Amino acid sequence: MSKKALRRKQVEEKTGRSTSWLYEAMAQGRFPRPIRDGRSVRWLESEVDEWLDNLVAERDRQQSEAACG
């Protein structure tokens, strides 16, 4: 399986979140941690995509519960 690594700016664009939000969320365990390559950091695109998928699933679960309740 091929893995793609994203730079911080790419992660910000993909998630719509700022650098400070990303690092705060990582510190709280709410966002995937990057991998280090020397001085640079990269996020695995698959992990960022999974994080986004989980947000959508949580939204859908909450909407479903609201419709049933």
pLDDT in tens, 42-55: 999 999 999 999 99
Instruction: Give the pLDDT confidence score for residue 16 in this predicted structure.
Output: 97
How confident is the prediction for the chain on average, in pLDDT? 94
Residue 67 has pLDDT above 90, yes or no: no
- Structural domains of the chain, ranges and CATH numbers in brackets: 5-68 (1.10.238)
Q: Which residues 6+ apart lie within 8 Å of 43 measured at CB?
A: 5, 6, 8, 11, 32, 34, 35
pTM higher than 0.85, yes or no? yes
Instruction: List beta partners, residue 42.
Output: 35
Q: Which residue has the higher pLDDT, 1 or 4?
A: 4
